[in-house]
Amino acid sequence: MERVPILKIGEVLLVSIQVDLQDQTVLALQEDLAERIVATGARGVIIDITAVDIVDSFIGRMFATIASMSRLMDAETVVVGMRPAVAITLVELGLSLGGVRTALDLEKGMRLLGAALPAAGPAALDGR
């Protein structure tokens, strides 16, 4: 079973889903993420689903569960990169993803959490 990597960027954990989401992968992600929130004291979680083409009702519910779990541990969740087909599927399945904020991309998701992306390279240092 593949694991979804969880990266730490400041006070935010970034979950970039680049694998096919199977039920077991999502359950493992839920456990791994809970452990990382506690270990790092993260105050935000961004789940990047740009590479996700298809969701089913179980995976949609798990996103809502992850957001609820994160909130209980004092971390807000933002899902970024949702494709139109995924949004349509979630609506057709009747899943509202309560408690999950969304943003079009990572930068906007970081802004929603009040976090800044780290500066990249020398151009960022001198304001260019």
Per-residue pLDDT tens digits for 1-13: 678 999 999 999 9
pLDDT in tens, 47-88: 999 998 888 888 888 888 888 999 999 999 999 999 999 999
pLDDT at 125 over 80: no
Encode burial over 71-80: b for 16+ CB neighbours within 10 A, e otherwise: eeeebbbbbb
pLDDT digits (tens, 9 = 90+) for 4-48: 999 999 999 999 998 877 888 888 999 999 999 999 999 999 999
Please, are residues 7 and 108 in contact by the beta-carbon 8 Å criterion? no
Amino acid identity for residue 36 in this structure = R
The span from the CA of 40 to the CA of 18, in Å, is 23
